[in-house]
Amino acid sequence: MVQQEISLTRETELSDEDLAEVQRCRRPANRLGFAYQIVFARVHNRLPRQQPLEIDEALLSSTASQLRIDVTQVDDYAKRQHTVSDHQSRIRSHLGSRAFDGDAVEQLEAFIFEESRRVEQAEALLGRAQQFLRDRGILLPADYALHRIIGEQRKLARTEIYRRIGESISESTRRSLDDLLNVPLGKRKSPLQRLKSNPSKPSPDAVVALTDKIETIRDTGGLEIDLSWLSANYQRSLYHYVRASTVHRLKSVECERRYASLLCFLWQSYRDALDQLINMFDKLMTRMNTKAEKDLDKKMREQRRSIKDSMEAVQTVGHVLLDEDIHDAELRSVIFERISEERLSSVIAEIADWVTGKKSDVFHAVVAKFSYLRRFTPELLRALSLVGQRDGPVRACVEAVDLLKTMNDENKRTLPEDAPLGFIPDRLMPIVRKDDGSIDRHAWETALMFRLRDELKSGNVHVPQSKRFGCFEDYFIPGEDWDSRREAFFRRANLPGNPRDVADYLENRLNAAYDLFLNSADDNSFAVATDDGWQFSKDCTEELDSETDQKLDGLKLWLSKRMRRIRLADLLIEVDNELGFTSHFLPVGSQGERDPDDITVVLAALMAHGCNIGPYTMAQLTNGVSYRQLKKVSDWHLTPETQKAALACLVRGIVGLDTTLHWGEGKTSASDGQRFSMRRKVLQQTYSLKFSDFAMEFYSFVADNYAPFYSLPIECTNRDSAFVLDGVLYNETDLELEEHYTDTHGYTDINFAAFAMLGRRFCPRIRGLRNQRIYRIGNRRDYGSLSSIVGRSDRKVNPRAIVAHWDRIGHFYASLERGHTTASVALKRLVSYDENNQFYRANRDLGRIFKTEFLLSYLSEPGLRSRIRRGLLKVEQLHALARDVYYARRGRINVRELHQQVNSCSCLTLVLACIIYWQAKEISRVVGDSAFAESGLDTGLLTHISPIEWDNVILYGEYVINRRLIRRTVAA
């Protein structure tokens, strides 16, 4: 049976009222059975099945222990079906619970119907239905009853949604949608299949292909239909349905469903294509600038000798000019004695090219690539609709873009005399404006494209309907929603809700951090503040004495001899038999009965993606499993929602093991990225200098008890910092995380503000502590030994901007917590702003205050430094195991589509969680053996044992050599 979580202890304890009701039963068997049913109903919100009596061993054992009744008495109780039934009526009355009667059915049906209009997944609806009944004190009915109601209401909600969308579709749009499913003459793919394809690596041709995709979507007329009333979750569900379906499958479904699904697919694809187009534009512009810099460096190396000769000539002239013994009237003659006039003229000409000519600025080399730029910018501008602030350089940039669009449409080549120039930096103005006052078209347009790229990334210019580059205001939940959550949000984070209290609160909190550091300064040998800055000594790491180290070696040896060896496939089967995590990948109607054939296909699919084998190769290696079966499970059942639910099930299993308490209580976590080679020529492909290859990063989160609870793939060029909140906010486990650790790549000042606003503590291990700044608020206190460090004028934070934006800051992070927009998307946009943006400054300054508080704690508390090291070490251990598990194709990511990359990352995490659960349980088995108690080994040393460091799991397949195929003699 599944082990119960420690958090369920309160529900399993019998209260005085419970015990009084139990004592009304005369026989011990009846008392045990009655109490067991009470506990079962509290934990599961339903009564156990009667024929035969459903037994939860953990709950029964806990109940029997409290009553001091032999657990075997339940066998006698289970035989008395009439008594069991009678007791259930009494228990409903005692708990104040209602039976699932007609009124409850109507309430649930109405609730599920409304939820089905927002959420399409049956698994999610099942969880919400159970919570709905629990909140209203209604006991759960049989599983089939819930599944029936969910199925009926989903069907009704779908019909309503499809009907409403269908009423808004014109006949011309219907024909356009049908045309997406037909293969044109002379083509090999349907338009829909081309819309599904992942963008190629950045190139002018790839930009053109993306703009064609955007135009194809616009031409259907589908974007003219307003779907804002339909939840984004439901739209994404229909989007994934179309992405996984073939053209033939879509043609076979009913018209209304087909049209609704295609419209959602078009809207989501359009928004994704806009983001991809801007991302590709950014990479191309960056590549152009990098190539120009390399070309300039190459020319400099090639002309190193001539440049050196020129500098020697300039040095000669300089020495003559500075020689006070030479009179001014003799300067020319002396200079020409040492260097000829012809040589000096030649030197000046060579230097002029580097000082004011085409080699003076890398921008000249970029302008020289103007023909490359023109291969994609007209199509890019035609595809984008831009909205910007109407003031200063941003306004000039938008006006210049509008002018360029008009010139492109009218095929004009000459710029008007009044062309906008306000967006051009002063450094480039001499290059853009010629000596005769005219404007160099090539330089002007090149400067405009670079400025447009920067303004899009910073958010000063946004693209309507774009997810990542849209309007910043779209990231906030509606005002009325925030008003209803505001008080609870600030209270949960222990922060003042009234902006007038914020300044004093922050100053008092920061001063308390300074007091803590200064009070321990005399005993602090790690960090000492001096007039020259910080002085650090080597931090003392945790080291065991020789006797304890020998005992630990003995414990490891004992465990290694007694822990079983097991194949990965068998391990997954054992874990699934105990936890049933594969049920989340099965249709809702078939989750009650486990079909071994279905489970086999699911486990094979998990290994195919998690071990990087691939479905096709996995089908060749696994008897009785076909590629078609694996493809079906991969496309339709291994969804992000089901994978999160399965991982949550595994995490509950890990938390429920007593052994994992030696490693942590699930209160702290850490995250870091791991890079895998990826040679596929797709938009996500980036070159990693540290990895020395094209790569993609799997960013993983692990709790202190070694439970991996979230993962996602990201580009190597992205800083990890924007993605740290994703794992903390959007995992579906029951972990109550209070403290999170990262390395330097996961740190920004903004993250300190984000974690504090969400009631958590952010604890990064920051490289180069000596260069980190600490800040103060006001000048009303003595900072003691820190005065020289914190007393500088640039170390003061004025909380005025924080106070002015306090409510808006809370509104922003409440929106991220709610999932209104993904935290990584919103934070990337926020950190891209400059200091002129007041909201960014308020978040940055708030982060600096909390960062100062953390740094003072980090420098004065060895325990905090030790926790951070241990947390990050666990992530590194997880990465080492992941490298071994993800072994096929030499650990190289070979899938092209983004959803396939997400699938590989999630399946890998699921396999890792299974291994960790099995190893921890195996350690529990060995330690719980009577021989261990007789060995004299110390269980306290399990703190220093990891469930990852063992090699008893056989990760690779078996080679079967059929002896009957071997000839005894070699053919001539």
Cα separation, 150 vs 108, whole angstroms: 9
Q: Of 159, 157, 160, 164, nearest to 228 (Cα)?
A: 164
SS3 696: strand
Cα separation, 749 vs 851, whole angstroms: 7
Q: Binning pLDDT at 50, 70 and 90, where does residue 5 land?
A: very low
CB 2 within 8 A of CB 654: no
Determine phi and psi for 116, rounding to 5 degrees.
-65, -20
> Could you give the C-alpha distances from 919 to 524, 600, 649, 654, 728, in angstroms and in order?
40, 22, 17, 10, 25
Concatenate the DSSP letters of all residues of 37-91 into one string.
Answer: HHHHHHHHSSPPPTTTTP--HHHHHHHHHHHT--TTHHHHHHT-HHHHHHHHHHH
Q: Which two structure tokens, joined as six digits, stand for 352?
A: 């002029």
Mean pLDDT of the chain: 88
Q: Which two structure tokens, joined as six digits, stand for 478?
A: 């509606």
Q: Of 686, 690, 743, nearest to 716 (Cα)?
A: 686
> Could you give the C-alpha distances from 514 to 522, 782, 784, 787, 852, in angstroms and in order?
14, 10, 10, 11, 9
Q: pLDDT value at position 7?
A: 42
> Could you give the C-alpha distances from 783 to 56, 305, 519, 851, in angstroms and in order?
60, 56, 11, 17
Which ranges in 822-949 belong to alpha helices (H)?
823-831, 838-860, 862-885, 898-928, 930-935
Q: Binning pLDDT at 50, 70 and 90, where does residue 10 land?
A: low
CB 921 within 8 A of CB 657: yes
Amino acid identity of residue 575, one-letter, is: V
Q: pLDDT value at position 83?
A: 86
- The β-bridge partners of 567 are 954
383, pLDDT greater than 90: yes
Indicate the burial class of 767 (C-beta count within 10 angstroms; 0-12, 13-18, 19 or more). Answer: exposed
Cα separation, 261 vs 224, whole angstroms: 15
Q: Of 884, 874, 503, nearest to 702 (Cα)?
A: 874
The reported pTM is 0.86
Concatenate the DSSP letters of all residues of 241-280 into one string.
Answer: HHHHS-HHHHHHS-HHHHHHHHHHHHHHHHHHHHHHHHHH
CB 586 within 8 A of CB 598: yes
CB 1 within 8 A of CB 58: yes
Q: What angle do CA 131, 133, 136 make, to 5 degrees?
A: 110
Cα separation, 380 vs 741, whole angstroms: 41
155, pLDDT greater than 60: yes
Q: Please give the DSSP secondary-structure letter assigned to residue 625.
A: -
pLDDT tens digits, residue range 224-262? 999 988 888 888 889 999 999 999 999 999 999 999 999
Q: pLDDT value at position 119?
A: 76
pLDDT tens digits, residue range 441-493? 999 999 999 999 999 988 889 999 998 999 999 999 999 999 999 999 999 99
962, pLDDT greater than 80: no
> Left if phi > 0, otherwise alpha if psi is -120 to 50, otherwise beta: which for 580?
left
174, pLDDT greater than 60: yes
Asked which of 52-66, 210-224, 337-351, 692-706 is least confident by mean pLDDT, the reply is: 337-351
Quick one: which H or E segment has residue 714? strand 708-715
Name, in order, each residue with C-beta under 8 angstroms of 654's C-beta and a sequence gap of 6 or more.
660, 705, 706, 707, 913, 916, 917, 920
Contacts 24+ apart (CB under 8 A), 471-479: 471/387, 472/829, 472/830, 474/821, 475/812, 475/815, 475/816, 475/820, 475/821, 475/825, 475/826, 475/829, 476/811, 476/812, 476/815, 476/820, 477/811, 477/814, 477/815, 477/818, 477/820, 479/811
Q: Which two structure tokens, joined as six digits, stand for 197?
A: 């394809």
Cα separation, 731 vs 350, whole angstroms: 62
Q: Of 9, 119, 132, 17, nearest to 63 (Cα)?
A: 9
Q: pLDDT value at position 9?
A: 52
Q: Which two structure tokens, joined as six digits, stand for 41?
A: 């109903």
Q: Binning pLDDT at 50, 70 and 90, where does residue 594 land?
A: confident
274 vs 27: which has the higher pLDDT: 274
Q: pLDDT value at position 1?
A: 32
- Other Cβ atoms less than 10 A from the Cβ of 330: the count is 12
